[in-house]
Amino acid sequence: MKLLTCPVNGPRNITEFQYLGPVRAASAEQPEQLIEALFYAENPLGVMREWWRHTPSNTVFIAERHTVSDQIAATYLPNRKPA
């Protein structure tokens, strides 16, 4: 079972987490971006930025995951991306 590292709590089994979707550039609040925000899913062959939540501690954070190897390159709280 995959391990995911919560930036606050450390490595935990993936079952402790809830997937919240990809980090999207398009905003569903802007009428001209609505369709893209709702229906266009980013699907890169490479690193994807995703929102995740650690349910026991309610920590919401971003993970950078490679879509081919499924490796998690980094996890960080938003606004606190490491250099």
Which positions touch another protein (CB under 8 A)? 1-3, 8-9, 12-16, 18, 20, 28-31, 34, 37-38, 51, 53-58, 60, 70, 78
Which residue number, 39 or 46, has a Cβ lying nearer to another protein?
39
Instruction: In angstroms, give the least distance from the CB of 21 to another protein.
Output: 9
Listed in sequence order, the residues at least 6 apart from 3 whose beta carbon sits closer than 8 Å to its beta carbon are 11, 12, 13, 14
Altogether, the residues listed in the chain come to a count of: 83
- State in angstroms the smallest separation of the CB of 47 from another protein: 18
Handedness of CA 18, 23, 50, 63 (dihedral sign): negative
Q: Write down the least CB distance from residue 46 to another protein, Å.
A: 18
Contact 26, 33 (CB under 8 A): yes
